[in-house]
A and B are shown apart, each in its own frame.
Chain A
Amino acid sequence: MVARTSTSERIAIQLHAIECAVADLPEIVEEWDELPDGERASLSLDWDHLMGSYLILLERYCAGGEMSEEQSRRYNALRASLRAALPLIERLNFYRPSISLE
């Protein structure tokens, strides 16, 4: 049985993954039409994973008071980034975040 990481470490991994993916969105929109089919599918599927698993888990950790003050600050900033990125998400027809971004 593999030892699970601490909740704090899981939150750090998940926050980092989504922060990076959101930061990549403008470049992906710019490159989209030139990307090979396999890379487009791969990027979209990875986004599904982030929105369908990681973001929902982060919302649970936040609601459960399991984030540090710093992680809560980053999570709020991430939600704001996602809100700002909604036009890009729509343009790519990517999985729209299913949590409240307000």
Chain B
Amino acid sequence: MRPVEVDAAIVDAIRLRLVPAEGTLWAILSHVAQVGFDPTARERARGELAGIAWQGRVLRGADQIPPLERHYVKHVLMRREWPPGTSLADYVESLRAVILDPTSGVFACSYQGEAQLAVIRETGTLRGPNGLDWVLVEYRVATGHWVTAYQPEGGIQDLGSPRRTDLLWLREPAQANG
């Protein structure tokens, strides 16, 4: 599937309440796994990251950094959700593995009015010292890239935002405890 077809399939799933066939879902996930965070975007580091040493400098809240770096510094280095020693590349690879894991749950939804596809799986070996029960990766159709990746506590508990609507499970997550 071409990227534009992947995005259309996600939008259609939400609009038509249509769960794609297994082959289509696999094609969607293969695309989502390889796009990563937007390498051309920049986001403010903001308060939590201010004062942290990163790549030879001390971050200020106003600094603009790539989304991948912001998420890595926040979730891996500061909040310690991933195991110690997880590198930037390890973080990305762990997220790709979650997206491609057939036991992961997959859902589509609107978030702030734009279509997203999310993949969620029990943390397993990705759980760090301050990690939680699940890993969640979200892809945003409007940007064509991942928009976040972190470890929520209660799985779908984090999904209760008023900004998230029209949620449709395309595949339920498997749970180790059944």
Contact = CB atoms under 8 A, between A and B. Distances in A.
A79 interface: no
Contacts of B129: 2-5, 9
Nearest to A16: B48
B159 interface: yes
A57 B154 CA distance: 10
Interface residues of B, number: 47
B163 A52 contact: no
Nearest to A57: B153
A44 B111 CA distance: 9
Interface in B57-108: 61, 67, 70-71, 74, 78-80, 83-84
Interface stretch (B7-15, B16-24, B26-34, B139-147): B139-147
Interface of A: 2-5, 9-10, 13, 16-17, 20-21, 23-24, 27, 36-42, 44-49, 52-54, 56-57, 93-96, 98
